[in-house]
Chains A and B, each alone.
Chain A
């Protein structure tokens, strides 16, 4: 009796769980589909990127057909979507073929290899062969096209991010601590500062900022941009750090003081170590804000662009090179993914304390 009573409940529960997970997975797929496609696109060869419909998965190898053509040798490529070979090039020059293989098909072949295949045509009418694709071709081209500018820009961006973190976390963190621990006049003003700062468009601040930065001799330098990025980040850091400090009981600090430590020492020995993971998460926020920003960077740099500006220019400049644009975008998105992986544990600490 007991057994039969228990079983239907379990089935119902299992069914419910299954439906729930199907639902969850469905939501996830819908959310991540665009990201999947941009990643997939970043691995496609230029030729593949312009076929329609686009292949769902990048090919790992290319299948070729070679025969005598009108002008020379006729090269055909197997099209997975159409399920047939399509002629792509008719040339007598192996050098041209090599360039085409590399740039359009992302399948590099040595001259020796190409000539060997052509030699086979003397005995056979049609030959077939398969070569491995260079999956990272778009990324190599992206860093190649952006050339020697990309690496210094990357270093510069990292410098800007580091300085933004230091400025925001020190200045914002102090205010956040005051907000969490003291009652004082103007506390609400501090709380609303995050809103105030956002009410004035950032682009509009960047223009008068040129003059201020030139005056400080900071124009077109990493420190200049980090000063600008800190504007929004400080306000955000005040909120986040206030939340974090609120989550650490004041009684701990008081206990330390009872045992003879000063307030500053209690903070350094007790509160700070406890707050450290949350503060690191707040630092990630500042990092991401500084890393992703493009518009102020365009306005406030001249000869020393940031990495995001390089990506932006390559994306815009590569109109008609969608796979390159995708690779550039993805190269820039890697820190973003690391960021979300890290901060997901600190959401409550960061956003749980301060509300309007």
Chain B
């Protein structure tokens, strides 16, 4: 078959099938890919969570998880982290996005610099904070130079009460995550037409008035998107925690999965524990996402768009 034949075939047939089948043909590779490389491991993993040591169907794994010594703490810590870090990160990101959207001289450079933390690899971020927050680290050194800490005085960032460690963690996590939330919000802000905002100013609104009455309502779908993506990742936080505090000091749900997968070897319940915890994490994430989408009205908007 020559090239012209293909071209002719394309020209005639493509038009016919383009309306009906084309989108499905274009989407098909994604579906196949996910069936092979996502759904398969997920199903394996879900089956494992219902399988006992002897290979029988059981709910024992979940009983093991619920009675695990760190389970209550893991649920509690995860909840606290999610609530506070998503809130802090959202407002921090919104603040930065609004600032950059003002398009002042140098805002391009500002954007570039503000995005750097999100691009840092976990190993680099881990190295940064573990070297920074030890008693002799750069954080205390800096506070000493600034005169905030008296000579010989030190703040022990990485030891102490749970509340203190959680605060440290939430601030550090926010530092790295805010840029990725910010760019989504910034894209949404840049999509809002200037004329709409100008109309608000013409009718006598000041900056905050326009922000509250025009900008934020128009930004709502973007806000929902940014928060849902963040919510899903926030529940799955673990690596930075292990970098900072090691395993089991500040247990969270996914950290338990990794702990029982990688750290505990030879213990026969470890596999069951990991499988059980995995499903708990997935269930919590899905539930939280569904609830959030319902409450934020994303499903309703969907229907409106369709009708």
Contacts and interface: CB of A to CB of B under 8 A. Distances in A.
A205 B129 contact: no
B132 A34 contact: yes
A225 B261 CA distance: 19
A181 B111 CA distance: 31
A348 interface: yes
A322 B225 CA distance: 39
A46 to B, nearest CB: 13
Interface string B111-122: 111111111111
Contacts of A54: 136-138, 141
Interface stretch (A25-33, A70-78, A84-92, A110-118): A25-33
B42 interface: yes
A38 interface: yes
A197 B38 contact: yes
A98 interface: no
Contacts of A292: 119-122
A332 to B, nearest CB: 5
Nearest to A41: B131
A127 interface: no
A227 B187 CA distance: 29
Contacts of B207: none
Interface residues of A, number: 92
Contacts of B175: 31, 34
B102 to A, nearest CB: 9
B190 interface: yes
Nearest to B253: A201
Given A333-B121, A336-B121, A38 B131 contact: yes
A152 B68 CA distance: 42
A263 interface: yes
Given A175-B27, A212-B37, A348 B116 contact: no
A333 B117 contact: no
Nearest to B286: A199
A30 B11 CA distance: 58
Contacts of B228: 195, 356
Nearest to A38: B128
A207 B45 contact: yes
Given A54-B138, A356-B293, A32 B113 contact: yes
A312 B142 contact: no
B214 to A, nearest CB: 17
A211 to B, nearest CB: 8
Given A56-B145, A231-B37, A262-B10, A333 B124 contact: yes
Closest 4 CB pairs of A and B: A336-B119, A329-B124, A351-B187, A53-B141
Interface of A: 20-21, 24, 27-28, 31-35, 37-38, 40-41, 50, 52-54, 56, 170-172, 174-175, 177-178, 181-182, 184, 186-188, 190, 193-195, 197-205, 207-209, 211-212, 227-228, 230-231, 234, 238, 262-264, 288, 291-292, 294-295, 299, 308, 311-312, 315, 322, 325-326, 328-330, 332-333, 336-337, 339-341, 343-344, 347-348, 350-352, 354-356
24 contacts: A21-B106, A37-B128, A38-B127, A50-B136, A52-B141, A56-B142, A174-B26, A174-B30, A175-B26, A178-B22, A182-B23, A188-B302, A193-B30, A199-B282, A201-B236, A207-B274, A209-B41, A262-B11, A332-B123, A333-B121, A333-B124, A337-B116, A348-B191, A350-B187
